[in-house]
Structure 1
Amino acid sequence: MSPVRTAPAELTAGDAELRTRYLAEVLDLLYPPPCRTDGSPGTPIAEYLVVPDARKPRLLVPTASRRVSAAAVRRYAEPQSRAARLKREAVVAAVRTGASGVLLRDRIRVTGPFSQSIDGHLSEALGRELSVSVHIGPARANRKPVLQLIGPDGDTFGFGKLGTGPLTRRLVRDETAALTALAGAGLTKLTVPQVLYAGQWRDLEVLVQTALPVWLPRAPLSHRRLVAAMLDVAGCCGFTTGPLATGGYWQELRARLAAVSDRPEGVALASAAELLVQRAGDIVFRYGAWHGDWAPWNMANLAGALLVWDWERFATGVPLGFDAVHHELQKRIQSTADARDAVEATVKRSAELLAPFGVPVAGREMTALLYLVDLATRYLTDRQAEAGARLGVLGTWLLPVLIRRVEEL
């Protein structure tokens, strides 16, 4: 499966406009000149249905066959509500029966030399015939084109990511390295994608990974199973121990904080981090690996496997338990309109969340706060606020709770 995030039920007018503009940018990247995406006469490369429409594009569905179109819709993302599932099934039924011409009127026809298109490049690189379905995501600094790769018989066999700028190219390279390392790490409690192809095409960084079978029936996820998987990842590259102030993690984080010290939020973060390290004193922490974005939408629990994807933030040498705190925070943000309350509630649960990871009692709240520093530093480094991300402005939710909690330690 891909790192596709399930979209909210409704789009604001501003988000719709941004998606429309982003769609044009993506098409220019996937089908550069001499390819044309305006329906001009020429050799056909692809044709897409725009779902739900050109004003609010979420998904480009290839029309190679009804079977391919249905697979593109059904395996695009897992709806989070009954209403969303019904809408998805209505679109699947439309493309299967041929009624899509009535319900989905907006189409994009691509013409030109096949060899100059992303379809041609991936077909040659993977050595097989394929159709491409394109996900149009919300505004984020790390937004990148995500491609679902579908065979002629309707099998979704891979997902592709395209790095288009300095940040996303680095993230695609990082995920390639992470998946390569994890392939030989001996993980037993979870399943991760495998790299099918990695390389460059024009100015883009390309990663194609196997499709995890997220369309299979889901099973309830127990807390024990989730923790076991997180511990499996934590130890996949070994463990180290030591006080925070003298460890490699703090040196790396301090360097990242220095890189954002030109902004008031960066200064506030650095001050809070220094105070946090002082309060940690000689507490011995344990360090290992973490997924980096272990959120509910980046995993699927089946009866026989826990599938986890989106490994672009994978890192080693971080305090144990970061994944558990991140998962809790993202789950709370997903279910509440008040992100500040989500941060507060997550920190309050730190003792319970971090106990299975062997974090010393005195260091559990510190670990949760240190995670918040790490996350906030990432937001500033990536310039999420400038990209228009919903939670990009840290002063409205994360920073006030973090600073107050550190001062109260």
Structure 2
Amino acid sequence: MNGETTYLTDLAEILWPCGGLLGRGADAAPGGDPGRPGPDGEEPEESGSAVRAYLPVPSAHNPRVIVPATDRYAAARGIAAFAQRHSFREKVRTALLTTAFASGIAPLLLRDRLHVGSGRTIEHALAAALDREVVVAIHVGPPRANRKPVLLLLTPAGRAVGYAKVGVNDLTSRLVRDEIRALRRLADARLPDITVPRLLHQGEWNGRPLLVQEALPVGAQTERPTRRQLLRCVLQIAALERRPEQSLADSGYRARLEQRIDALGDRPEAPRLRAALRRLPAVRLPFGAWHGDLTRWNVAGTPRRAFVWDWERLAFDAPLGFDALHYELNECVQGGVHPGVHRWLDTGARLLCDPMVTAAGMRPQAVPTVMALYLIDLAARYLQDRQDEAGGHLAAVDDWLLPALDGLGERATAEAGLPG
């Protein structure tokens, strides 16, 4: 077993306390006879043992999505719902996979199985919470510190009715609880051009926090937001709790950021972050709320409306523009971290100088300071969450973030018109 198969079996113990066993094809599962193959090469019908099989896609050694082996429609819908489809290659791959599942061929091609024994399962808890029968497809995603299962909840006919999240460790449990609080707060918020999922249920499963939210109407009819739509989202989220413009030196945000750096203890990056923060000029900044993880994976749009989800990082009283910088950084590094960060230093600054943002109070001479603050904030998050241990592509902050921060600090002082 590699780290991914170990993660898969550990995850099975959380979602299905009866446990799971990895196997190949129609290998015998715990507690029963696999029986005869079903129609179209599907898994055998479940007997009184109630053993069920799930397909890790693309494999148990690289699981990204887990779908039921006996429900081709739920499996196809799960593959389509969790696909990124931001490039031609991704779109072709998604089309091939969904066709393979819808036709019943996929179980013949994908040999790995996760066999789940009898007993009370996460599906039972979700069905009780929504008062309807549900089938689940599970997004696992790549390794990272905040990796947790996201469950797509489907009716037996294949209609999406919600998404569920379950904490699997201290960090992800905290994030699930934070998202519950965020969705409660947003339920009464006024976001004229943004749709936020409604909180449908909160509770616990297997001793861990459980969140269920509605499924937003995103899919083939939505696209990544345009620049104007992105900035409209950034400004409307910031307006959830706008603060009066104030000097960075006197702001509560700066004090809290320094406390977060102090909490890093003896991490070798902490002194450089602290020094970078203290060197920044005392420019005046507008403050407000920010989503905290506004990326192409958490927002979609139509010409008239944006749909935004994954609110677990929602925070208040941060410098205006953080969400725009975060979105742009994640876009820029898709082709490589170092060239992407170099490009972001230019494109991120241009976003903050957009007339929509300057009209909201952003002073052009403060732009390098805001960009530096964003990098310090992001570094503190990554180091606190120990993202480097999980191997995320942006997690090695000493490799790319600290060098970029050094240059931004010099720009911040020069553009603020203060002596270096």
Please, what TM-score do these two structures have when normalized by structure 1? 0.89
Q: Secondary structure at the match of 2:94?
A: helix
State how far apart, in whole Å, the 1-side matches of 2:89 and 2:80 are.
Answer: 15
Relative to 1, partners in 2 of residues 1:350 and 1:100: Cα closer, same or farther, differing over 3 Å? Answer: closer
Deviations 1:266-300 (A, max 9, x none): 11101100111xx12xx332211011111122111
2:209 to 200, 205, 208: 205
Relative to 1, partners in 2 of residues 1:189 and 1:154: Cα closer, same or farther, differing over 3 Å? Answer: same
1:317 positional shift: 0.7
2:399 to 377, 396, 400: 396
Q: Which amino acid aligns with 1:234?
A: A
The answer to whether the 8 A contact 1:31-1:37 is kept is no
The answer to whether the 8 A contact 2:68-2:136 is kept is yes
Q: Which amino acid aligns with 2:131?
A: G
What is aligned with 2:15? 30
Relative to 1, partners in 2 of residues 1:356 and 1:219: Cα closer, same or farther, differing over 3 Å? Answer: farther
Percent identical among aligned pairs is 38
Relative to 1, partners in 2 of residues 1:219 and 1:327: Cα closer, same or farther, differing over 3 Å? Answer: closer
Q: Which amino acid aligns with 1:24?
A: T
Unaligned segments of structure 2, at least 5 residues:
23-28, 33-48, 414-420
The answer to whether the 8 A contact 2:166-2:205 is kept is no
Tell me which moved more, 42-51 or 242-251: 42-51
What is aligned with 1:40? 30
What is aligned with 2:42? none
Deviations 1:175-216 (A, max 9, x none): 111111111011111111111111122221111111112213
What is aligned with 2:345? 344
Q: Which amino acid aligns with 1:269?
A: L
What is aligned with 2:298? 298
The answer to whether the 8 A contact 1:257-1:266 is kept is yes
The answer to whether the 8 A contact 2:56-2:63 is kept is yes
What is aligned with 1:134? 138
Tell me which moved more, 334-343 or 265-274: 334-343
State how far apart, in whole Å, the 2-side matches of 1:69 and 1:355 are.
Answer: 46
The answer to whether the 8 A contact 1:52-1:104 is kept is yes
State how far apart, in whole Å, the 2-side matches of 1:289 and 1:122 are.
Answer: 32
Q: Secondary structure at the match of 1:245?
A: helix
The answer to whether the 8 A contact 1:266-1:380 is kept is no
1:349 positional shift: 3.2
Q: Secondary structure at the match of 1:119?
A: helix
The answer to whether the 8 A contact 2:83-2:94 is kept is no
Determine which structure has more spread, i.e. the larger CA radius of gyration.
2
Unaligned segments of structure 1, at least 5 residues:
1-15
What is aligned with 2:109? 103
What is aligned with 2:44? none
The answer to whether the 8 A contact 1:19-1:137 is kept is no
Relative to 1, partners in 2 of residues 1:219 and 1:29: Cα closer, same or farther, differing over 3 Å? Answer: closer
The answer to whether the 8 A contact 2:140-2:147 is kept is no
1:380 positional shift: 0.9
Between the two proteins, the alignment pairs up a number of residues equal to 387
2:274 to 249, 270, 275: 270
1:344 positional shift: 3.1
What is aligned with 2:80? 74
State how far apart, in whole Å, the 2-side matches of 1:91 and 1:350 are.
Answer: 37
State how far apart, in whole Å, the 2-side matches of 1:344 and 1:310 are.
Answer: 26
The answer to whether the 8 A contact 2:253-2:318 is kept is yes
Q: Secondary structure at the match of 1:134?
A: strand
Q: How large is the Cα RMSD of the aligned pairs?
A: 2.1
Give the structure, 1 or 2, with the largest relative contact order (CA under 8 Å, sep 6 or more): 1
The answer to whether the 8 A contact 1:19-1:57 is kept is yes
Deviations 1:306-325 (A, max 9, x none): 11111111101111111111
Q: Map residues 141-152 of structure 1 onto 2, 5 A cutoff.
A: 141-152=145-156
Relative to 1, partners in 2 of residues 1:196 and 1:220: Cα closer, same or farther, differing over 3 Å? Answer: closer
1:359 lines up with 2:362 in the alignment: yes
Deviations 1:377-401 (A, max 9, x none): 1111111112222221111101011
1:81 positional shift: 2.2
1:17 positional shift: 4.1
Deviations 1:17-73 (A, max 9, x none): 43333212211211124x444511253264212222223222111134322222122
The answer to whether the 8 A contact 2:176-2:210 is kept is yes
What is aligned with 1:368? 371
Q: Which amino acid aligns with 2:324?
A: A
State how far apart, in whole Å, the 1-side matches of 2:199 and 2:156 are.
Answer: 21
1:312 lines up with 2:297 in the alignment: no
What is aligned with 1:61? 67
What is aligned with 1:121? 125
1:357 positional shift: 3.5
What is aligned with 2:418? none
2:3 to 14, 18, 23: 18
Tell me which moved more, 205-214 or 50-59: 50-59
1:245 lines up with 2:283 in the alignment: no
1:356 positional shift: 4.7
1:173 positional shift: 0.8
